[in-house]
Structure 1
Amino acid sequence: MPSLAIVLAGPSGAGKSRLAQRLGLPVLRLDDFYKDGDDPTLPVITGGANTGLVDWDHPDSWLPDDAVAAMTELCRTGRTEVPVYEIARNGRCGSRVLDLGDAPFFVAEGIFAQDVVAPLRQQGRIAAAYCITQHPVLTFWRRLTRDLREHRKPPLVLLRRGFVLARAQRRVVADAVAKGCRVARPEQAYAEITRLVVGR
């Protein structure tokens, strides 16, 4: 049987990756479809302390068509080649083959995941789509500690970015809901997805 996608959208730091790992399903990291750092079409921050830096939180910083194509192939054939992206390097550093084996579902997670919901739903290839949320303060802290631990950007840039994203969290959630995701805390989504997998 063809596999179906379970989409996890939501603010950066809300717990999407952690939830995806807990579920034990194959995971497609949609953040691996970011554009390379030297791509001339990348959007740039035009105001505030980070003016002039690439706006990695803008949807024009990634390649949704490539992500949808990879998900479609996964659903149809159970196998696809996906890029490997290193945020600290601002670019792709290779590729890997994602093979679903006999898994009936796979998880697609990322900060722009809401943008794949409509085209995949039109194809009948989505089992569920969530916008994962936490309290903004908790999300801010988890995002900052993760980004510092992984040396994603200089500390001051990460701190400034964190404050901007905290203020934008409501807008991010509203966008995901408008594009077909349902808001859920990680534990709620985990319980519902587990029941879905067991039922299949």
Structure 2
Amino acid sequence: MSPQPIPTRVVLLAGPSGSGKSSLAARTGLPVLRLDDFYKEGDDPSLPLVPGSTDIDWDSVRSWDAEAAVAAIGELCRTGRTDVPVYDIATSARVDRETLHIDRTPLFVAEGIFAADIVDRCQELGLLADALCLRGRPTTTFRRRLVRDLREGRKSVPFLLRRGWRLMRAERRIVARQTALGAYPCGADEALGRLAAAAAGRCRRTAPARGAA
């Protein structure tokens, strides 16, 4: 009897904006699905606002299409390919679509600030290899995020400063929330170790229990 093919699974890589998710995902050499491409467009009437402000709250999961993201992950696991939107953060719009091929690799990374919000769903569907939440110093995250956002012209400078200050103050709560959703909190080195273990089939799926900080 011929051996059964190894099923494809996903590692969800969460963490605060600017925590280094994209850089770490690139270092793994694994295929990467950018979950930020599933943001809603800027004219979507369901977009939430920052309380007490006219700013759209792009850090609320309600600004993101979780259903479409899970569907794309499921299709990648089943078929090794899926069509995904190309999202331009500066214009808050989907500007194109592209096909992501992962060549039937047994493991890929899906990274984004809302990755922890789909841990349960991916687990229920049998797609999950591991779920991680990158954490670090809030001041370091603030600097990294601001430099990136200014370089890429993501939003206006006043908006970026308001958002950056708000996120720096909330960073520990963000990590605690993502941990409670099932993502294992760790630094970059430990995350790379867990990713290597998952790629070798030695998955250490030991996410904290619900409600853990």
TM-score norm. by structure 1 comes to 0.95
The separation in 1 between residues aligned to 2:51 and 2:199, in whole angstroms, is 44
Question: What is residue 17 of structure 1 aligned with on the other side?
Answer: 22
Is the aligned partner of 1:28 residue 2:30?
A: no
- Contact 1:144 1:162 (8 Å CA) reproduced: yes
Task: Map 1:108-119; keep pairs closer than 5 Å.
Answer: 108-119=110-121
- The SS at the match of 1:42 is coil
The separation in 2 between residues aligned to 1:46 and 1:183, in whole angstroms, is 28
The separation in 2 between residues aligned to 1:178 and 1:197, in whole angstroms, is 25
Question: What is residue 38 of structure 1 aligned with on the other side?
Answer: 43
**Higher RCO (Cα < 8 Å, 6 or more apart):** 1
- Contact 1:2 1:77 (8 Å CA) reproduced: no
Task: Map 1:84-103; keep pairs closer than 5 Å.
Answer: 84-103=86-105
The separation in 2 between residues aligned to 1:118 and 1:195, in whole angstroms, is 21
Structure 2 gaps of 5+ residues are 1-5, 203-213
Q: CA RMSD in A?
A: 1.1
> Given residue 39 of structure 2, which amino acid in structure 1 is its aligned partner?
Y
Question: What is residue 197 of structure 2 aligned with on the other side?
Answer: 195
Percent of counterpart pairs with the same letter?
A: 52
The separation in 2 between residues aligned to 1:148 and 1:82, in whole angstroms, is 26
Shift of 1:85: 0.2
Shift of 1:187: 1.4
- The SS at the match of 2:13 is strand
- Contact 1:9 1:110 (8 Å CA) reproduced: yes
- The SS at the match of 1:89 is coil
TM-score norm. by structure 2 comes to 0.89
Structure 1 gaps of 5+ residues are none
The separation in 2 between residues aligned to 1:114 and 1:196, in whole angstroms, is 17
Number of residue pairs matched? 197
- Contact 1:2 1:78 (8 Å CA) reproduced: no
Task: Map 1:1-200; keep pairs closer than 5 Å.
Answer: 1-47=6-52, 51-199=53-201
